Amino acid sequence: MQLAIASGKGGVGKSTVTASLLYFLKDEYGLIAVDADAEAPNLGLLLGVDDWEEERDHIGAKVARIETGSCIKCGICMERCPYGCIYIDREGNYVVNELTCEGCNVCGLVCPVTGTITLEEVRSGVVRKATTRYGFPIISAQLDVGRPESGKLVTEEKEWAKRVMEELNLEHMIVDSAAGIGCQVIASLGGADAAILIAEPTPASLSDVQRAYRVVQHFREPAYLIVNKADINPGFTGLVDWAEREGIPILGEVPYDGAIPRSMSLLKPIVEAFPESDASKALKEIAERIKEEILG
């Protein structure tokens, strides 16, 4: 199966929960982890990855180039660029800022000198593979600064993970999604067999997880909910009420636990660093429910 862990909001504990579930499930199942947050990957840190065994450049983004030799310096490209990424350098040449260029080619269309402005493919980021300290593989990605195509990076990650699963005869893929509902999250949820939503009992988290749930509904995937930091807002019932109305099973509640940031500073899942903590005990129960209700 392919399980996607999402939230719609950053900082609610997706990577903490993902690392803990991988730790509990690793001995019973053949697993592969996918860190699908190409803009800020951190799952590998919690799983003890120091070096990446294999890295592959992802080429796909396009940026404009201005040939100074044939440029007549009319300034039309700079005037029409919708992103304001063309400027005049110290030598008086028109130059494209690659960090802000979106490759829309408006400049090339309005340039009066054919062939002066062209689009060139550049690297968007890197996709990489490693083996965690626990023996199972992880696929991750890192988006280059100012580059688009984070969704395509995640898609490439998952395709690579599928090939590794076939090679090693692994059973399940656990995908740690990015925050929000953008391209990365859509790519994470697409093709998943189930989505596990992480939320905390606050109005902001409720609003964001509802948006993430609408993406899950688009893909017609079953959804489950884990309430993290369940005791930080006593009296707020909006999250649980919403889940009950939508028929979303709640896999469990994890209390706020000061051991979690301490485990992160140790670069370990909390369930390994502090197995007797309240959060670890709750996560262990959740892992058992996932084995029974989802993985079967």
Cβ-contact 139, 160 below 8 angstroms:
yes
Secondary structure (3-state) at 71: coil
Same domain, 101 and 22: no
pLDDT above 90 covers a percentage of the chain that reads 92
Confirm whether 291 is domain-assigned.
Answer: yes
What is the C-alpha radius of gyration for the chain, rounded to an integer number of angstroms? 23
Task: Report pLDDT digits (tens) over 278-293.
Answer: 999 999 999 999 999 9
Same domain, 214 and 280: yes
Average pLDDT (203-216) is 96
Hey, what amino acid is at 213? Answer: Y
Confirm whether 55 is domain-assigned.
Answer: no
Secondary structure (3-state) at 105: coil
- Final residue before a domain boundary, out of 123, 141, 160: 123
What is the SS3 assignment for 229-293? CCCCCCCCCHHHHHHHHHCCCEEEEECCCCHHHHHHHCCCCHHHHCCCCHHHHHHHHHHHHHHHH
Confirm whether 137 is domain-assigned.
Answer: yes
Nearest to 140 by CA among 59, 52, 10: 52
Same domain, 272 and 204: yes
Confirm whether 97 is domain-assigned.
Answer: yes
Same domain, 11 and 143: yes
Same domain, 288 and 188: yes
pLDDT over threshold 90, residue 267? yes
Provide the CATH number for the domain around residue 208: 3.40.50.300
Residue 63 pLDDT: 94
Confirm whether 236 is domain-assigned.
Answer: yes
Nearest to 17 by CA among 294, 285, 296: 285
Residue 146 pLDDT: 78
Residue 165 has which token pair? 């699963």
Same domain, 233 and 102: no
Task: Report pLDDT digits (tens) over 218-258.
Answer: 999 999 999 999 999 999 999 999 999 999 999 999 999 99
Mean pLDDT of the chain: 95
- How many Å apart are CA 296 and CA 288, to the nearest integer? 10
Same domain, 160 and 36: yes
Same domain, 246 and 138: yes
Same domain, 180 and 235: yes
- Final residue before a domain boundary, out of 123, 147, 171: 123
Same domain, 162 and 254: yes
Cβ-contact 195, 217 below 8 angstroms:
no
**pTM for the model:** 0.88
For residue 169, the enclosing domain spans 2-49+132-295
Q: What are the CB-based long-range contacts (under 8 Å, 24+) for 276-283?
A: 279/254, 279/255, 280/20, 282/252, 282/253, 282/254, 282/255, 283/17, 283/20, 283/21, 283/24, 283/252, 283/254
Task: Report pLDDT digits (tens) over 12-58.
Answer: 999 999 999 999 999 999 999 999 999 999 999 999 998 999 999 99
The number of folded domains in the chain is: 2
- Final residue before a domain boundary, out of 74, 100, 123: 123
Confirm whether 12 is domain-assigned.
Answer: yes
Average pLDDT (87-101) is 94
Average pLDDT (123-138) is 96
Cβ-contact 282, 253 below 8 angstroms:
yes
